[in-house]
Amino acid sequence: MADVKTVFINGVEYPFDAGQTVIQVAHENGLDVPHYCYHPGLSIAGNCRICMVEVEGDAKPQVSCKLECAPPPWVSEPLRIQTESELAKSARAGTMEMLLVNHPLDCPICDQAGECHLQDYSYQLGQGQASSSTAKTKLPKNVAFGEKIVYDAERCIKCTLCVRFCEEVTETNELNLGGRGDEEIVIMSSKGEFETDYSMNIIDICPVGALTSRDFRFKSRLWFMDFADSVCTGCARGCNVITGGRNGSMMRMEPRHNADVNQWWMCDQGRLDYRYVNTPTRIATPRIKTADGVWAAATVDDAILAAAAALKAAGGNVLVDGGCTLEEMHLAQQLAAALGGKATYAAATGEADGFLRVAEQGANAAGAELLGLARATKAGAAAVLVVERDANVPQALRDGADAVVVFATDADHVPASAQVVFPFGSSAERDGLFVNTDGRVQVAQRNPGIGPDNLTPPYELLEEILGELDAGYDWHGRDGIVAAIQAQPAFAKISLPAAQATAEVGATS
């Protein structure tokens, strides 16, 4: 057998690993080969036929997702593939036309519009007019797949990605294909509800608008939304996500590929966890309690002065949410030292599900341990309290702290003892570093479309308060804070990404 280790795609020679198919090598090298039914995390079905390429010397085009780069044993020459030749293009255009024969083209009311592969490839390859004049098939629309997913059989192209996901990743087998010919649809098991908590991943992998989220249904068109790379703070796994929001409201969270953390997936619990961000009792501006015990809105500068004055009088400990960033935790430590107390963190413990979700709920609990913060298990006095989530810092801890300065997301989480309140945000609204349960440092980026306008980053507020305390603290900015954390012995073997680094950067200890 000839030992061929390379493949020519569009005239350029690329090396491949044993077993790799043409589409995998093409995607690895930045070539765009259209695909619907192919997903790098699932088995290869080869049923959508949109990834057809020309193999030089062959009369018929072949599907690149199933075509192995290694030539047959009797061939000693590398395969020569053309992805953009006339044959390949006409094969794909023909496939496109067949896929659109029964597609309702209801893009104006479809949530997938804007991230729909069918739309994209139709724009690239499709024709303005259909050759077929028969009426489109009528199939069930707005079918509930459990409580979280809506299925539209007319939009479905039967690529079976969702079926394969439930077979191979969750191994719960809730979905299958039923019916024949143009009446073939995806059907759900008779239970009518998913057993897995990972069901909403099928919405992401669905290349068309057949599977859409009940939660996100008709909320916003994609092109109005702002997106940012962030990290899920639902548990200490720290799944890489893309946050989406518009006009201050967070609208959805989608997993982002990271082979070392969450692959392509995330759990439904984490995905739908964002809703606390949009609470009607959200704190948008700093508040100071007046002498009459009434809350009054204050400017950031006034609130910083008031907080410093209150802390000089009170002194004491600092209690932070386990979902705070490394920067915030580091500054909490500095603040506690200046006040003559200790910094602790609080985090809930949940249940691990054996796949992605872990029992530790403090998204940055590992980071807190590295910094040397102790875990608060029972209520204790703390002058400064940072609350992002109710779950991490429950009411008993909040009320027991007797705090005077409070950073909170929700006005309902402010204890009665508070004198100055600063608005805090979810991880979608704060830049910062998180250390996940495996000790991996990850970057969360602020999404400008989410949260109150002009939200001052909490690390800046903490630095300003420290500066006002006359404790000899100099303003560092975020780069300086990260450098100070990096200089600590516990971080000697970890390289922290620079503050401006993109979210892809990550380092393991």
Q: Which chain residues interact with another protein by CB under 8 A? A: 106-109, 141-142, 217-221, 223-224
Q: How far is the CB of 218 from another protein (least distance, A)?
A: 4
How many CA atoms, within 13 angstroms, populate the side-chain half-sphere of residue 42? 26
How far is it between the farthest Cα atoms of the chain? 91
C-beta of residue 253 within 8 angstroms of C-beta of residue 244: yes
**The tokens of 321 are what?**
């949410």
Q: Which of 468, 415, 454 is nearest to 303 (CA)?
A: 468
**Please, which residues have CB within 8 angstroms of residue 497's CB and are 6 or more apart in sequence?**
433, 441, 443, 505, 506, 507
Nearer to another protein, 107 or 471 (CB): 107
C-beta of residue 231 within 8 angstroms of C-beta of residue 325: no
Distance between CA atoms of residues 27 and 25, nearest Å:
6
Q: How far is the CB of 129 from another protein (least distance, A)?
A: 16
Q: How far is the CB of 243 from another protein (least distance, A)?
A: 21
Q: Which of 428, 399, 386, 390 is nearest to 281 (CA)?
A: 390
Question: Identity (one letter) of the amino acid at 374?
Answer: A
Q: How far is the CB of 213 from another protein (least distance, A)?
A: 12
Nearer to another protein, 123 or 218 (CB): 218
Q: How far is the CB of 348 from another protein (least distance, A)?
A: 34
Nearer to another protein, 80 or 141 (CB): 141
Beta pairing partners, 384: 318, 405
Nearer to another protein, 252 or 398 (CB): 252
Sign of CA dihedral 258, 261, 263, 269: negative
Q: How far is the CB of 137 from another protein (least distance, A)?
A: 13
Q: What is the 3-state secondary structure (H, E, C) of 467-501?
A: HHCCCCCCCCHHHHHHHHHHCCHHHCCCCCCCCCC
Q: How far is the CB of 15 from another protein (least distance, A)?
A: 44
Nearer to another protein, 115 or 460 (CB): 115
C-beta of residue 90 within 8 angstroms of C-beta of residue 60: no
Nearer to another protein, 106 or 183 (CB): 106
Distance between CA atoms of residues 353 and 58, nearest Å:
49
Q: ∠81-51-205 over CA atoms, to 5°? A: 140
Nearer to another protein, 116 or 363 (CB): 116
Nearer to another protein, 108 or 181 (CB): 108
Distances (CA, A) of 410 to 272, 275, 349, 382, 425: 18, 12, 21, 19, 9
Q: How far is the CB of 223 from another protein (least distance, A)?
A: 6
Packing angle of the helix pair 326-339, 458-468 (nearest 10 deg): 20
Nearer to another protein, 80 or 219 (CB): 219
Q: How far is the CB of 151 from another protein (least distance, A)?
A: 13
